[in-house]
Structure 1
Amino acid sequence: MDIPSSAEVVIIGGGVAGCSIAYHLTKLGISDVVLCERKQLTCGTTWHAAGLVTQLRATRQMTELAQYTGELFGTLEAETGQATGFRRNGSLRVANNAARYEELARGASMARNFGLPVEAVSPDGIKERWPLVDTGDMVGGFWSPLDGQVNPADVTMAYAKGARMGGARIFEDLAVTQILVESGRAAGVMTSQGPIRAKHVVICGGMWSRDLAAEIGVTVPLQAVEHFYVVTETIPDLPRDLPVLFVGDEWTYYKEDAGKLLIGFFEPKGKPWGMDGIPQDFCFDSLPEDFDHVSPHLDDAIRRIPRLQSVGLQLFFNGPESFTPDNRYLLGETPEVAGLFCATGFNSLGILSSGGVGRSLASWIQNGRPPVDLIDVDVRRVQTFQRNRSYLAARAGESIGVSFDIHWPSRQFETARGIRRSPIHDRLLAAGAWMTEAAGWERPGFYGTDEERAEIRYSYDRPSWFANVGAECRTTAEAVGIFDHSCFAKYRVEGPDALAVLNKVSANQMDVPAGRVVYTQWLNENGGIEADVTVTRLAEDAFLVVTICVSQRRDLSWLKRHIPDGARVMVADITSGLPMFAVMGPKARELMRRVSPDDVSNEGFPFGTSREIDLGFARVRASRLTYMGELGYELYAEAEFAAHVYDTLIEAGRDLGLGHVGFFALNSLRMEKGYRHWGHDIGEEDTPYQSGLGFAVALDKPGGFIGRESLARQKSAGPLSRRMVQIRLVETEAPPLLLHHEPVLLDGKIIGSVTSGAYGYRVGASLGLAYVENEDGVTKDWLGSGELEVEIAMKRWPITAQFGPWYDPKGERIKA
């Protein structure tokens, strides 16, 4: 085999993702591409995929990727001459109960934001489109005419042919044995036939990706899981134009397949496979049958499709597919190694995502940044512990079922829990905490009695903890609440050039006196928000950066990669050693006076101040900040002092009405103030001016900052055509809750969508944040020029909108 000695891009893996990336790179003019497949194209997972092509996903960006894929499938065969088997026969998603119908109806409303046609259908309408199905217990469903199906192997070959037509070289029977890294950058690969040097390397190795990446210290957490489907014998009267049918409440989907029915299962408790590694010779292989495992769901299928009672099974198939800990795939440049990308762990969504993934990653490679906001699937979100094999084996069995489970607001994974714990974890449990999980951290969602915690009821309306959260919000507003925020990520940035580095990365001015806290964003060259942080100046050459836990590795990588060569600065992640508690509420100052002899008065300790103080027998860093809209202090204690600090606060606050407050209440409190949340309300495509955060931009500071030129152009261009507003449902007896992506309308025309929402207990209303657009400028007069509504589950509700917060708009409580 005559392999090249070098290439601009080397792709590892010849499944649908790898071939799509090669194809799209050549479309951008990058033809010096080598794809290495260890055996034959499609031989790992792609060949046995079901080939479902659906377009509506959980977010706008993911939907747009799937939309593009569907459009591409419609033209790929004509372009390449390679058949794809693509049929746009639509899909039906049906509900057997009201909760599932609510989920589907909310999704249908969300689809309107993206221009996707989705139509509500009655049980009779379902029967009309799918005559073989028993609709007796169905509530209804939704019809998506642009969905369909494709032959996975054929479409992969079409990608490969298109890539070769563009100049890419594809080698089968060429195994990659190692990724080469030099000076922290990908330098190529070692293959079974020798090395290939490269500027960029892309891991598309499916089930093999985790271990290949781990060999060079890169975290790509995925686990193979057995995935089952059956294929019936030929059914003579089976319509060939049947839509794909999803019966989520029975964990089952149905697809017409050459006169037969393919029935697939996403059972709630899956079977992890290959925990000790995937055999290198695995090729077009299947796994042993396990009728017992899927028989309950197969029985449901026979009841659902009575015709199956007289039809035999031609094939029982069990093949492995890769699933990730959060059921979202892994895409983008790895934080550990520059120039090393991945597109893997697709959770059975590889075919329908392939076009969008290929185009996005090709653009990312070419331009050094993602073309759109890909936060949901960005590999930088994952934590290093998540490549632990025991963890993955425990979580993966649940992850497969998440695909078909109801996607409840605040739904929590139940497996592989208790991994990252605050030093006061046991004390919080004793206080009644019901724990949620983020980035492996156990965090209090709400506090309640044993009975309340045992009877958790998720809901799209008011969950079982609704009243508990209301009580916690009132405690914060009327007395004082204590929050455990130990999960927040913290970095110490130190050295003679620390100020210069942070000032270049941050949009706000970092050159402030020691003991001041600055709220700022880290921006990309387009002015989009890469990180939302606070920076405390500890000394002339030392700073403390605090960010959200899910961004721990992402933000650290962003900072380190923007330190110039030779700069005299050190960055250390000190998250584990520095827990943080917050005390918030009108009695917070009195509580602080009881536990510390230091001056915590408004004059002696104004808002935005940070200093070390005595607290009990410990020394802690206290920062006067808030994310809740009340007077308060954030308290940073070294880990060994954390329990003492907590105990001291609890004892001193008993007669002040001190209460524990969880993250569900935090979301309500911040929503009333309109505080943005990175990853929901702000991200890579949103600028500070659009987001209402222009107050945190020091446009004229000496030396400038990353993204300054883009912001300057935006500011000088006149009224913004896209801005964030705060919305409030008009008083109704029981207003529904806003979550995300609900369409916002002005005089019946969609002008934007909700980014996040919550019930505001202090103002007594359902609230949300939303971006809206108007070509002539989003202004107060325009917002008031007509009837504003929001669409929730296919129903419209009147709203009011404004730019400022609903609670304490002047900030008087914060600065009291």
Structure 2
Amino acid sequence: MNNTTSPKPVPSRARAVIIGGGVSGCSVAYHLAKLGWSDVVLLERKQLTSGTTWHAAGLIGQLRGSQNMTRLAKYSRDLYVRLEAETGIGTGMKQNGSITVALTDERREEIYRQASLARAFNVDVQEIDPARVKELYPYLNVSDVKAAVHLPLDGQCDPANIAMALAKGARQHGATVIEGVKVIDVLTKDGRVTGVVCEQAGERHVIETENVVNAAGMWGRNLAAQSGVTVPLHAAEHFYIVTEPVPGLGQLPVLRVPDEQAYYKEDAGKMLLGAFELKAKPWGMDGISEDFCFDQLPDDFDHFQPILEMAVRRMPMLETAGIHTFFCGPESFTPDDRYYLGEAPELKGYWVAAGYNSIGIVSSGGAGMALAQWMNDGEPPFDLWEVDIRRAQPFQKNRLYLRERVTETLGLLYADHFPYRQMATARGVRRSPIHEHLKKRGAVFGEVAGWERANWFAGLGQEKEYRYSWKRQNWFDNQRAEHMAVREGVGLFDMTSFGKIRVEGRDALAFLQRLCANQMDVEAGRIVYTQMLNRRGGIESDLTVTRLSETAFFLVVPGATLQRDLAWLRKNLLPDEFVVVTDVTAAESVLCVMGPKSRELLSKVSPSDLSNAAHPFGSASEIEIGYGLARAHRVTYVGELGWELYVPSDQAAHVFETLEHAGEGLGLKLCGLHALDSCRIEKAFRHFGHDITDEDHVLEAGLGFAVKTGKGDFIGRDAVLKKQEEGLKRRLVQLRLTDPKPLVFHNEALVRDGKIVGTITSGNYGHFLKGAIGLGYVPCEGESAADVLASKYEIEIAGERFAAEASLAPLYDPKAERVKM
């Protein structure tokens, strides 16, 4: 009698094909099927959970770095609790709580700030003292513990069983899950997915589909590359040990000791100790074997030993507990420690859910729900920019870059999460033509989207590096000097990292009128500040558009959002529209001359007429500078008279040298991005990704002045008219702390009349206004502006509340008189 069963047949057609049977792929399949996508097929080349899921630690921590990531983590926790009843498969989900301890004052500040954030996100949290830690965790040496936070509803689970439960739930709702099927290729036509070629038991099959989900984990980068899609991730080794059974060891909270790069989990009477060491080991540089399945990597006890030695001091019972398992397995990490979700900008219908940076179990339940909703509705259910695949830069798929970067990003999970912390590895990829000039003059660089940008300038004899802290860092006085130079004299910023896009062709005007909320039909040489909205009235892009000619427009966007903005433009281009969208970022450098003496400086190096009459605010024209030419845009992000000079890259060094030489008698100061940010927040200028996102309605963000509903139809117009009719539910408010000492960065709790009502979306120190400044949304349904301002406001920082002055108009130059001097 033959007991072998035939493999499950591969269908010829599906609405979606999911590649990868780890917890991420299973979650997407489950949520799509629950939405009614019955013809969903999940293909796993080996067996479900092989690769990474099977050896994950299964920690469920609800509190993440933002409200929506916390929302997804809480969703995962709740899903894993109810899956057991729904599918009959035990998920091992236990809400045994978690404790994070601090061994330094800096770490205490960090975890207390996180506790304030947890309260703002409605997560149950308590700050506890070392004595209480000892009660909850009797095995722990607390002699040097300075502080701790306890989240009683956190917990742990069984990762493999969760994936199995999700797969069973997907099948129950009509999805097909097939193991032992290897995907060979993704078929495309005219820029979109049309099918998948796969192999089962040596036989090839083609599945017609318009949607593919790359949930292939550490294989995801190479799979994506076959289709010309960028998914920058790289595997790194992750280590943990499991002890022999410890007599009397009962259920304990999950314990994190980030200052020792360690976490602890009691599991079935044994203790698991895992590490996020500061310098990690990349793995799979030559590609990952197709045969790799439930494999372990070779032990490296020398690498793990420093963590173990600290752990034995922290938990003395480890000294006598035998080691049952020393485990090393691969996990995928990304250049910024955030995973990838969404539709790839290069290929319509190609979706990504990969790169989970060791938080795949707590993330995948929510991420699968969010991606399924996104695929179903054609737009994300809420702001997911921090994990959006469109943030990935094309160069980041470079394997050497990724190999070096993941040595750092693994360890950053438990490193101090200081404000302004810069990556140390894989730097210097994208540089302005005047980079070396700035370096010689004391520039200390930060990195955004691979661009090296001068964040501040060190003085003579001052060290040219960051000294991180939650208090005033070593560049605070430098920022003040640069800030005040812009307010009182003249400063020069290198903003070459701006994203620059040309939109041109016969239908360029009609195209931009449909995408932009402001009036685009202006005369050549005019600059329009506008937003591109989605159908909910949320902000997809924040940009300036300069009309160069009847058929050509020049768009300037933040460097970090360039790929997103290009994708949005191309996605909304109609088949019969004659429009060409071109990324011209590298073609021009941008030198920003800002401050009340900026006209005086430019007049020394240019014979062009820069008067208000000839060159008013919001206009652009070509001017001469030294021996070169520049297109001078009279706009500002600092709230002063000034020009952004768009200079051909080959002339940038000459123009910089000319400006610098002419500025010697005017006190010209080189300024960095930190000063730019402190100036913009005094002026309450919005920062995309923080203050304004695709979830924030343009009117509630206070940007109604840039919306012209009377011009005709545009994307989001109906949502604007509806909001005007119904009234605002919340408003973006500017707040200044009356005590000049505390600092505000981002995500502090916003308190109105004694109750937490939101968070600070962005913050910096206002050196002219002499206090920390933050922006944040305040609920205001049925209230007037006067009602909003009549309340008492505070900002909670690490558990302590500080009084704040609130304003709806900019606290600095509310009538914008200085920009029009």
Superposed displacement of residue 751, structure 1: 2.2
CA shift digits 1:794-813 (9 cap, x unpaired): 11111111101111111111
In the alignment, does 2:23 pair up with 1:16?
yes
In structure 2, what is the equivalent of residue 757 of structure 1? 763
In structure 2, what is the equivalent of residue 724 of structure 1? 732
Q: RMSD between aligned alpha carbons?
A: 0.9
Q: Secondary structure at the match of 2:211?
A: strand
In structure 2, what is the equivalent of residue 685 of structure 1? 695
Superposed displacement of residue 455, structure 1: 5.4
In the alignment, does 2:217 pair up with 1:206?
yes
In the alignment, does 2:399 pair up with 1:389?
yes
In structure 2, what is the equivalent of residue 231 of structure 1? 242
The within-5 A match list for 1:746-785 is: 746-777=752-783, 779-784=785-790
Question: Which one of the candidate residues 432, 442, 459 is aligned to 2:469?
Answer: 459
Q: Secondary structure at the match of 1:560?
A: helix
Q: Secondary structure at the match of 1:814?
A: helix
Question: Which one of the candidate residues 769, 782, 806 is aligned to 2:811?
Answer: 806
In structure 2, what is the equivalent of residue 711 of structure 1? 720
Question: Which one of the candidate residues 295, 313, 317 is aligned to 2:327?
Answer: 317
CA–CA distance in 1 between the matches of 2:783 and 2:212?
A: 43
Question: Which one of the candidate residues 270, 274, 279 is aligned to 1:269?
Answer: 279
CA shift digits 1:751-778 (9 cap, x unpaired): 2221000000011111100001033236
Superposed displacement of residue 493, structure 1: 1.0
CA–CA distance in 1 between the matches of 2:147 and 2:298?
A: 37
CA–CA distance in 1 between the matches of 2:536 and 2:468?
A: 39
CA–CA distance in 2 between the matches of 1:446 and 1:780?
A: 39
Q: Is the 8 A contact 2:442 2:464 kept in 1?
A: no
In structure 2, what is the equivalent of residue 98 of structure 1? 105
In structure 2, what is the equivalent of residue 469 of structure 1? 479
In the alignment, does 2:160 pair up with 1:153?
yes
The within-5 A match list for 1:211-226 is: 211-226=222-237
Superposed displacement of residue 735, structure 1: 2.5
Superposed displacement of residue 793, structure 1: 0.6
Q: Assess, with a 3 A threshold, how the Cα gap between structure 1 residues 359 and 455 changes in structure 2: closer, same or farther.
A: closer
Q: Is the 8 A contact 1:772 1:778 kept in 2?
A: no
Give, as a single letter, the amino acid of the residue that structure 2 aligns with 1:356. G
Range with bigger deviation, 796-805 or 218-227: 796-805
Superposed displacement of residue 783, structure 1: 2.6
The within-5 A match list for 1:336-347 is: 336-347=346-357
Q: Secondary structure at the match of 2:285?
A: coil
Q: Secondary structure at the match of 2:644?
A: strand
In structure 2, what is the equivalent of residue 67 of structure 1? 74
Superposed displacement of residue 748, structure 1: 1.2
Superposed displacement of residue 787, structure 1: 2.3
CA shift digits 1:112-144 (9 cap, x unpaired): 121101100101111110000000001010000
Q: Is the 8 A contact 1:434 1:453 kept in 2?
A: no
Q: Is the 8 A contact 1:751 1:774 kept in 2?
A: no
In structure 2, what is the equivalent of residue 480 of structure 1? 490
CA–CA distance in 2 between the matches of 1:778 and 1:326?
A: 41
Q: Is the 8 A contact 2:444 2:464 kept in 1?
A: no
CA–CA distance in 2 between the matches of 1:45 and 1:453?
A: 43
In structure 2, what is the equivalent of residue 743 of structure 1? 749
Superposed displacement of residue 597, structure 1: 0.6
CA–CA distance in 2 between the matches of 1:305 and 1:523?
A: 54
Q: Is the 8 A contact 1:92 1:245 kept in 2?
A: yes
In the alignment, does 2:607 pair up with 1:597?
yes
Superposed displacement of residue 588, structure 1: 0.2
Q: Is the 8 A contact 1:721 1:778 kept in 2?
A: no
Q: Secondary structure at the match of 1:453?
A: coil
Q: Is the 8 A contact 1:780 1:802 kept in 2?
A: no
CA–CA distance in 2 between the matches of 1:653 and 1:321?
A: 52
Superposed displacement of residue 62, structure 1: 0.2
Structure 2: which 5+ residue stretches go unaligned?
A: 1-6
The within-5 A match list for 1:544-623 is: 544-623=554-633
In the alignment, does 2:117 pair up with 1:110?
yes
In the alignment, does 2:647 pair up with 1:637?
yes
Q: Is the 8 A contact 1:579 1:636 kept in 2?
A: yes
Q: Secondary structure at the match of 2:745?
A: coil
Superposed displacement of residue 450, structure 1: 6.4
Range with bigger deviation, 148-157 or 177-186: 177-186
In the alignment, does 2:525 pair up with 1:515?
yes
Q: Is the 8 A contact 1:97 1:139 kept in 2?
A: yes
Give, as a single letter, the amino acid of the residue that structure 1 aligns with 2:638. M
Q: Secondary structure at the match of 1:7?
A: coil
TM-score (norm 2): 0.98
In structure 1, what is the equivalent of residue 61 of structure 2? 54
CA–CA distance in 1 between the matches of 2:770 and 2:475?
A: 16
Give, as a single letter, the amino acid of the residue that structure 1 aligns with 2:714. F
In the alignment, does 2:801 pair up with 1:796?
yes
CA–CA distance in 2 between the matches of 1:455 and 1:180?
A: 49
Give, as a single letter, the amino acid of the residue that structure 2 aligns with 1:815. K
In the alignment, does 2:142 pair up with 1:135?
yes
Range with bigger deviation, 760-769 or 446-455: 446-455
Q: Secondary structure at the match of 1:40?
A: coil
Q: Is the 8 A contact 1:223 1:393 kept in 2?
A: yes
Aligned length: 810
CA–CA distance in 2 between the matches of 1:544 and 1:798?
A: 43
Q: Secondary structure at the match of 1:199?
A: coil
